[in-house]
Amino acid sequence: MSLVCFWNYHNTPFQGGESTAPIIKKFIEAGAVEADNLIIVKSIISGSCVVKTNLTSLIQDMTPERIYILAPIMHMNADKKLKQEFPTNITDKFDFQYLAKDQKRDEVTREVLPGIGGNVYALLGFGDQKTKNKYTPQIVQDRLFG
């Protein structure tokens, strides 16, 4: 098993429009692009922006047989939105796994309700996304510095 980790900076326009999530840093372990199965894990899939960005980056260099998209919580339209972003030769490989599909959003923050109970960065102790993007997970540190 090989590991890939992306750090994204997610931007959501206040007056509608499409969200963006450019990759600002990444770790790609040797052998990852040769994998037959791609497993994407996210804490919550509200839309498809971050998953779309990261998946697009990965499939430029790899051709997985299956693409597993895992999250405890997904918004009810997230899987449909993601499928609209790719051709069927990619979406036919998708296998979505989640514990709950939520239907509502907070009208101001656009967070999925009940979702994971608030802002994921604050819940994980990061405060905000800028602080989160300075953090390197222990598993990445272990693989970098062994």
Full set of structural domains in the chain with CATH: 4-139 (3.40.50.2020)
Residues 113, 118, 121, 122: what is their CA dihedral angle, to the nearest 10 degrees? 180
pLDDT class of 14 with cuts at 50, 70, 90? low
Cβ atoms within 10 A of the Cβ of 145, count?
Answer: 6
Distance CA 45, CA 73 (A): 6
H/E segment holding residue 7: strand 4-8
Could you list the beta-strand ranges (E) of 9-113. Answer: 23-28, 37-41, 44-45, 66-75, 94-102, 104-105, 112-113
For the segment 22-63, what is each residue's pLDDT rounded down to a tens digit? 999 999 999 999 999 999 999 999 989 999 999 999 999 999
Could you list the beta-strand ranges (E) of 19-83. Answer: 23-28, 37-41, 44-45, 66-75
User: pTM for the complete prediction?
Assistant: 0.92
The DSSP bridge partners found for residue 6 are: 26
Structure tokens at 5: 């980790």
